[in-house]
A and B are shown apart, each in its own frame.
Chain A
């Protein structure tokens, strides 16, 4: 509508029925089809002259390489996770391509324009780390429903999930693993129930009284804290034997057999649901028991969470919640509101026009609420706020220090945990002392890929001898042009309690060390093929644009956004290329 003529859209998702209320490019028949394809078709129907191309895939795929990005004049992000945002940010910074990022959570919407050396990049300002609750609140002193839900998810993992995962309910896991294996659901349900909803609460009551008996000096400091928290609460243990747990008469379902998730039930029904859930998990999951992961769309697992969190809420005298509400909280679902998305889209177009017309000094970062009367929450003149020490856009190579346990730390830990998770690197090349010891990418030969994969489960020190002579690992991302050094230290004293990950990762140089000039000069990039234009020369006559969410820009759809707090890494990207 604004006059863009060439758009390319990338997205890996398919249309879910729940998208239809706000993603107006899609209709009922489109459910199950690829979003990028349907969006492109819908837009083409309205604007036949538009040249629109779609791709189904993850924006982090190797095929969306620098040549692909270079072909656009403008890139729009409409992503639902930090990881993919960082990836696109890094690629755009390295290629000097303007990027406009937008997002919404409920009524709050944001747009930010990112232009190398003109504005801060996405990573100039550290993102807030996911909100985490103190372990003792979850374990011993919950006072909100969310605490009970988080606890219930841990309980699910402790009983039926992967052993390797960090879980502070380890004692429960150990005590009950045999019962889980036996597969007698009734025995298991009764044991779990008695342990967590009855005995635990009784022992907390005792602890509370203990303080009155002994006085402070004989108690540990942590115990005192817990006791003080507990004193304010009314604790109610639950004795399962007083309830009818016979699953034959299910009272929490309607005539059609659907769970009444919109209602709050009597406590006895949650007890029944608890027994029923454990039975279903053991009978229906079979071999998967031991590897179950919570999925909000899995009715059986959700039932378990609904039951456990409400029973625990009862224990601590916290108000019960409906199954529907618990699903929302457990799945970190944040409602997406079409008007918010529409405003974001409109602002993104305006920012795009500023960039294309060269008015980059007028770029703004805006956060607004579509609920309040005075809409704009912050509007800042972003061109002033570049972080000179930013690891991504300031040409400064960061240096990190990684301390690991030499007896357990594997190459895959380095790649999956440190590089992919902590640093958001997508396609690493690892070098140490002049030797490349790991690479990834579609361009490699099959046997090379296989050989590298074979190395993943090997110990970094014991098997691969990384860091024997030189302890600095150079990390280079094949797709993002992100480079950093990691100083590797082996130690046996990585405290597992303080560092549940099993390693310590910290930044040493944040950027104050500008590379010395001689180094920069010597780093001459080989001459490029003359026939191929380099990315620094911008064709003045064709203003190409990529859009990350065409849906947004056309004010027709919105992406369901999970909270940035606990996002799954489901990379999703969309964009398009537009010509004016």
Chain B
């Protein structure tokens, strides 16, 4: 518990001192008390330049478990994105976010967000999480790209 808090305070500090351009990440604010919850962060990921996702900004919520950083946080897109590696719940499926795969306690929030930005642009067809985008990507690439562009215009412009 103390380790988690301490690490999250440090993450917040590191982010404030330096973070990738165009990204936003901060502990969610409770409008009632005005305090921010270290265990839940509100983030914004810009679509990668040169990719079909360019021009969009996508809102992501990161939830940190009590066991963080021994266990990875859960990353959820709100609203849910149309993407083969994002579950219908919005949760991101990525190896560095999986405790049994590539998660390491040393991975920073900036690295997570950059990793997810990369994943948006370069989906991983070998571990599908959402049926429609997976099928569309593998069978009708053109439609998939069109759908992504549409998403950039609709969801990605709100912020």
B111 adjacent to A478 (CB under 8 Å)? no
Q: For B38, give its contact among A434, A443, A452 (CB under 8 Å).
A: A434
Q: Is the CB of B17 within 8 A of A65?
A: yes
CB-CB under 8 A from B35, the residues of chain A are: 435-437, 464
* Known interface pairs A431-B9, A434-B5, A436-B12; A526-B107 also in contact (CB < 8 Å): yes
Contacts of A478 in B (CB 8 A): 13, 16-17
With contacts A429-B12, A524-B69 known, is A434 near B106, CB below 8 A? no
Which residues of B are interface residues toward A (Cβ below 8 A)? 2-3, 5-14, 16-17, 27, 30, 33-39, 69-70, 105-111
B residues within 8 A CB of A65?
A: 17
A428-455 interface mask toward B, CB cutoff 8 Å, 1 = contact, 0 = none?
0101001111000101100000011011
Give the distance in Å from the alpha carbon of A454 to the alpha carbon of B12 in the complex. 22
> Do B34 and A525 have beta carbons less than 8 Å apart?
no
Q: A residues bordering B, Cβ < 8 Å? A: 65-66, 429, 431, 434-437, 441, 443-444, 451-452, 454-455, 464-465, 474, 476, 478, 519, 522-527
> Is B27's CB under 8 angstroms from A436's CB?
yes
| Bound Cα distance A65, B38 (Å) | 24
A449 to chain B, nearest CB (A): 12
* CB nearest neighbor in B for A524: B106
- Whether the Cβ atoms of A431 and B11 lie closer than 8 Å is no
Can you pick out 22 interface pairs between chain A and chain B where the beta carbons lie within 8 Å of each other?
A: A65-B17, A429-B9, A431-B38, A434-B37, A434-B39, A435-B38, A437-B33, A437-B34, A443-B16, A464-B33, A464-B34, A474-B5, A474-B6, A474-B9, A476-B9, A519-B2, A523-B3, A523-B6, A524-B7, A525-B10, A527-B107, A527-B111
Measured between beta carbons, the chain B residues less than 8 angstroms from A66 are 17
List chain A residues, Cβ under 8 A from B12.
429, 436
Chain A's nearest CB lies how many Å from the CB of B7? 7
Check if A476 sits within 8 Å of B36, measured CB to CB.
Answer: no
Asked if residues B33 and A436 are in contact (CB atoms below 8 Å), the reply is no
Closest Cβ–Cβ distance, residue A265 to chain B (whole Å): 59
Q: Compute how far the CA of A434 lies from the CA of B9 in the bound complex, rounded to whole angstroms.
A: 9
| Residue of A444, A476, A522 touching B105 (CB-CB under 8 A) | A522
A437 to B38, CA, bound (A): 10
Task: Give A72 to B69 CA distance when docked, in angstroms.
Answer: 34
| Smallest CB gap from B70: residue in A | A522
6 A-B pairs besides A474-B6, A478-B13, A519-B6 with CB distance below 8 A are: A434-B5, A435-B35, A436-B9, A437-B34, A464-B34, A526-B106
